Amino acid sequence: MSFTLFLLVIFCALSELAASEFEFAYNGFKSANMSVDGLSKLTSNGLLKLTNSTTHKTGHAFNPNPINFKNNSDGPAYSFSTCFVFAVVPEYPTLGGHGLAFVMEPTKGLPGGLPSHYIGLFSDKNNGNITNHVVAVEFDTILSREFEDINDNHVGININQMKSEVSKPAGYYVSNDRPFQMTLISGQIMQAWVEYDAASKQIHVTLAPVAAPKQNTPLLSLSYDLSPIVEQTMYIGFSAATGSVASSHYILGWSFKINGMAAGLDISKLPKLPRIGPKKVSRLLSIGLPVIFVVVLLVSTFGVVYLTRRKMKFAELLEDWELEYGPHRFKYKELYMATRGFKEMELLGSGGFGSVYRGVLPSTKMEIAVKKVSHESRQGMRSFIAEIVSMGRLRHRNLVPLLGYCRRNGELLLVYEYMPSGSLDKYLYGKPIGILSWSQRFHVIKGVASGLFYLHEEWEQVVVHRDIKASNVLLDSEFNGRLGDFGLARLYDHGTDPYTTHVVGTIGYLAPEHTKTGKATTSSDVFSFGAFLLEVACGKRPIDPKAPSDEVVLLEWVFSFWRRSELIQVVDPKMGCDFVPEEVELVLKLGLLCSSLEPSYRPSMRQIILYLEGSVALPEFASLNLCSAGLIVTHTHSYDEMALTHSSSVEKTCSYSSSISNSLLSGGR
């Protein structure tokens, strides 16, 4: 071997050794070289701040240069370890959004990474793609059922997708017993370790309070060979995101090493988090407070008339028992300013139960929708408000979040998250603001079904919505269907019977047994959902007094076409011929099935989802028992006259129901 060749071999060996022992340690980021985007920034005192109070945004921070994780593209992945100190400071004490992740990627963030439940890592288009080559450890503070999250406070290991390979509630072990729980959104500083052993192909994640040492027992472990996932060079860093509610995500220190243990961080050298809450009152202020008070009192005397009038303008009902509901109670003044005084130009719509206004909260710039409804009697108001607060904790991608309420001068104001695309009925009736394709309508139907299934079976209590209709289905910016308006909803515990309430709702959607017993159940919701299915597919209201006589009651009209084997002809003509006949027929038959007079014949929302997804075939109609008498109610609202007309023809309608039942029982069309 020549001397030159010998030097070349030595040089290559040293280069490979250097690449396989790469490391760094940052006790704060004052002198660190980081690549940031989105909301992320390096603060003057050395913090790496990934997000702030801005909603629906992402933030990334990466080591600027790629790191060698393999000797060659086909070789095994190197071992590595990393340690970092972080903190999550939520905007609201008990509600965080949306989490952060340590991430290894072939680029500085995959293109199109979305905020909210995607934590800036993936999007609808690339979530789950094997070409992502992404390894992430998530610290998730929101429960996302579509990703099968275990709760809203967990740590998970993710490979190429948001669904974790393994996850556990946030905590740490002192021994091999049950772990001590930790709350990620507590605002407390925490320390995390992520390690990969190439020999055993094991990934370990450990979590602990910042002052506690690294425990021998990791929080979670995963047997996984990263060699096919990790490319020869990868970027490492952090990703975080906010949703409808924001949190500030901080990294205080970070160390990393290839083929070895990452250096421990010096806690005493880490930067301080920003102060949370007001400053302590100084002695000077406490001594001078009496003097200041006298001056303020004198000045306020001259403005007493103005202040009195202003107080009357913004006066609101507030009783001692409401103080316990804290952040769910909005100030009337805040809502008044958000809606610019409830001006007509901010009016989104109105109906029998009130008017809805668009607004922007001055403090957070969050877009909201404020519904002004009639004040219920004083009796029962406490339990009613308690239910509103409970439903404010509902979290599902197909529900419009109920943020809180306010009471003032005979009015109850309900505050929701604003949906920019408006309500579904604006796309179905009259002069629609746009035409929804069948694929969009079918997507909305499945979304509303998913939201109802969550209300009926997946939440901690049973929630009966009581007012399911197209005008209460809102569309977000991506035209996802979200069920809203929980002003009439009622809750009861799983396994118990619902209690009797006043019959409320909309004619055409009310189940017959609800009008008789006054009990709102999940089955009466299914009846309303059946009417909703028919109106979305046909583009017609369940009851339309202005329609031709044979089309006034949508259920009867659709059923007549089913009997003639011409069901497809009832499809909304505004869609043209651009639809899938099998899907349309499924929705129409399911609408008829949900409209059965006998509640026990109606499917549950769990079964409905299986039908819509095609996992289970729709049963034959031989055992159905439909009855348009379900449309007969006695109300005191704008449909009174029509309700009385229908009530006077009960015998005729039930006779029609009997003919329907006999036809179906015989299996004929």
Whether 387 and 454 map to the same domain: the answer is no
Q: Which of 385, 377, 375 is nearest to 411 (CA)?
A: 375
Burial of 456 (0-12, 13-18, 19+ CB in 10 A): buried
Whether 468 and 538 map to the same domain: the answer is yes
Tell me what pLDDT residue 314 has.
54
pLDDT along the chain (669 residues), means of 10: 52 48 91 92 93 92 94 92 95 84 93 90 92 95 91 95 95 81 92 96 95 90 95 95 91 95 92 72 59 74 60 56 63 91 88 81 91 61 66 86 80 87 90 90 97 93 90 92 82 72 76 86 95 96 89 92 91 91 95 92 95 89 44 32 34 36 38
Inside any domain, residue 17: no
Alpha-carbon distance of 443 to 438, in angstroms, equals 8
End-to-end CA gap in the chain: 92
392-412 burial, b at 16+ Cβ within 10 Å, e below that, comes to bebbbbbbbbbbbbbbbeeeb
Inside any domain, residue 15: no
Q: What is the CATH number of the domain that holds 85?
A: 2.60.120.200
Domain boundary among 219, 246, 265: 265
Contact between 525 and 558 under an 8 Å Cβ cutoff? The reply is: no
Inside any domain, residue 308: no
Inside any domain, residue 581: yes
Whether 514 and 432 map to the same domain: the answer is yes
Tell me what pLDDT residue 645 has.
34
Tell me what pLDDT residue 495 has.
76
Whether 650 and 556 map to the same domain: the answer is yes
Contact between 72 and 112 under an 8 Å Cβ cutoff? The reply is: no
Alpha-carbon distance of 319 to 153, in angstroms, equals 34
Whether 446 and 410 map to the same domain: the answer is no
Tell me what pLDDT residue 295 has.
74
Whether 245 and 134 map to the same domain: the answer is yes
Q: What is the CATH number of the domain that holds 353?
A: 3.30.200.20
Catalytic: 467? yes
Q: What are phi and psi of 255, to 5 degrees?
A: -135, 155
Coil/strand/helix, residue 18: helix
Active-site entry in 467, 485, 525, 572 = 467
Alpha-carbon distance of 599 to 513, in angstroms, equals 8
Domain boundary among 400, 417, 434: 417
Inside any domain, residue 316: no
Please report how many Cα atoms fall inside a 13 Å half-sphere around the Cα of residue 58, on the Cβ side.
Answer: 22
Tell me what pLDDT residue 303 has.
64
Domain range for 344 is 325-417
- pLDDT tens digits for range 393-439: 888 999 998 888 887 776 788 888 999 999 999 999 888 888 999 99
Whether 477 and 396 map to the same domain: the answer is no
The torsion angle over the Cα atoms of residues 422, 428, 432 and 433, rounded to 10 degrees, is: 30
Inside any domain, residue 68: yes
Whether 131 and 104 map to the same domain: the answer is yes
Contact between 100 and 230 under an 8 Å Cβ cutoff? The reply is: no
Contacts for 57 with CB less than 8 Å, ≥ 6 apart = 38, 39, 51, 115, 241, 242
Inside any domain, residue 379: yes
Whether 83 and 219 map to the same domain: the answer is yes
Look at the chain and report how many structural domains it folds into: 3
DSSP string, 333-346: HHHHHHTTTT-GGG
Whether 86 and 129 map to the same domain: the answer is yes
Q: Does the predicted model carry a pTM greater than 0.85?
A: no
Whether 403 and 430 map to the same domain: the answer is no
Alpha-carbon distance of 349 to 423, in angstroms, equals 9
Whether 383 and 344 map to the same domain: the answer is yes
Inside any domain, residue 500: yes
Domain boundary among 375, 397, 417: 417
Q: What is the CATH number of the domain that holds 595?
A: 1.10.510.10
Question: How do strand 354-360 and strand 202-209 relate by DSSP bridges?
Answer: unpaired
